[in-house]
Amino acid sequence: MIFFLIILISSPVLAQAQENGRIYHLTYSPAEPVALEDVTISIGVENPSDKAQSYFMQLQMAKDGRIVHEQEFTFTLEKTKGIFFTPTFAPQYIGEYEVIVKLYDKAKYELFDTKIIEFNSVSHLGPFDIVIEPLTSRVRPGLTLPAKLFLENMGTKGTDVEVRISVNCPDKTLTQTLTVFLPTRNRAEQLVSMQTCEQEGLYDISASILVFNRTWISSVSQFFINSSFIQLQFEAPEKIVLQLGQNYSFPVEVTNLGNQKITDLKFVVQRIPLAWQKTSPSSVIEVEPNEKVVFIVSIAIPQDAEPKTYEVRMTAAAEEVLERQISVLEVSPLAVLPSLTSAGGTSILRYVLISLGSLVGALVIGVLLRRYVKRKPSFAPKMHTVIPERLETLRKLKEKLKSQS
């Protein structure tokens, strides 16, 4: 009963107030407001009374229940006259906003009218992607953790983005902020170093992209803080290209960067058949801190293997720790001669003619060499030729001398 009495009493008061002044128009433009760009609020006020009135008008912009912008106006209207206001506002965030306009008397004692509209602020930036990957899974208390940050802008507009990296410790949150420009349709990679906690345990390291002071996307990875620091370091080929039937061997140096001894250290190449690979030695029983060991890895591609690209994992593993790197093994088919076709001057006839030409050339050279070898040297002594008549005269002379003796 009391509720209805209040309505009956208040309705004439509100009607009377609106007779002293009212908001007859409230809109916004553009139809799709964009964050960080001006939005024009159009407000129309009129004085419907039969006498001049002085007014106080209040404009409020609210986001998630908080007033983010406020503006005030004082003015006077003659009877039955109106006025138009076009204030601007640049939303700093994406999402829904409320536009609240209140019209009072000059002393702000009596509320004449109230109007509320809503709009949604959007962005033409992004979408974005972010990934954070620690370069080691273990670190000693209080030391810095190196990590790789991968950022991608898949949108049609380049922009500066704020990247926030944080580690939540039991007693505080460690935060680092940097600004990175991301060109349109581009991927960026950046090396960062993050301070870690003093307490041992498993922790999260998170990286977020903030645009218009709002988190758009985040990535989380984990790492251990341990006084018994263990870390392996090695360098393996990033890409290996082999043909079918080809073999390749390469050394891999593995270093124990930790402060304690590790046991049963092995090195394996994963994601290709075990029959293709061999590692020597198969394992190292113990590796002291800062000690370096060498594995010889041999890869043999069978003749019947499938030619394709393999994404392989190079893994160094001990009982206490494991480290991986991604490499690429490209298996290509054997190189072949150009196809023997009848077009383009590369026909079978061409190869036959070339072969015949080579054979004829070899025969000619052989004949010339043979003639040269059989010919008598020009410097050999000359032989005197004796004619038959002279031989007969000499024979008779010999016989005569013999008879006389």
Same domain, 270 and 309: yes
The residue out of 301, 317, 332 marking a domain boundary is 332
**β-sheet bridge partners, residue 40:** 29, 88
Peptide bond connecting 381 to the previous residue in cis, omega within 30 degrees of 0: no
Mean pLDDT of the chain: 82
Per DSSP bridges, beta strands 173-182 and 159-168 are antiparallel
Average pLDDT value for residue range 80-95: 91
The model's pLDDT over 367-376, given as tens digits with 9 standing for 90+, comes to: 665 665 555 4
Number of domain units in the chain: 3
Global pTM value: 0.40
pLDDT in tens, 170-211: 999 999 999 988 888 888 888 888 999 999 899 999 999 987
- 299-341 pLDDT, tens digit per residue, is 999 999 999 999 998 989 887 777 889 999 999 998 654 443 4
Domain annotation covers residue 280: yes
**Nearest of 94, 96, 152 to residue 124 by alpha carbon:** 94
Confirm whether 403 is domain-assigned.
no
The verdict on 191 and 271 lying in the same domain is no
Judgement on whether residues 174 and 238 belong to the same structural domain of the protein: no
Do 40 and 71 reside in the same domain of the chain?
yes
Over range 120-145, report the average pLDDT.
83
Q: Radius of gyration of the chain from Cα atoms? A: 48
At 257 the pLDDT is: 87
Domain boundary among 225, 242, 263: 225
Question: Domain of 267?
Answer: 232-332
Measured in degrees and rounded to the nearest 5, phi and psi for residue 312 equal -105, 155
Given 104, 121, 138, which residue is the final one in a domain? 121
Assess whether 133 and 212 both reside in one domain: yes
Q: Are 229 and 321 in contact (CB under 8 A)?
A: no
pLDDT at 27 over 50: yes
In this structure, what CATH number is given to the domain that contains residue 106?
Answer: 2.60.40.10
* Structural domain contains residue 337: no
Whether residues 182 and 257 share a domain: the answer is no
Does residue 379 register a pLDDT over 80? no
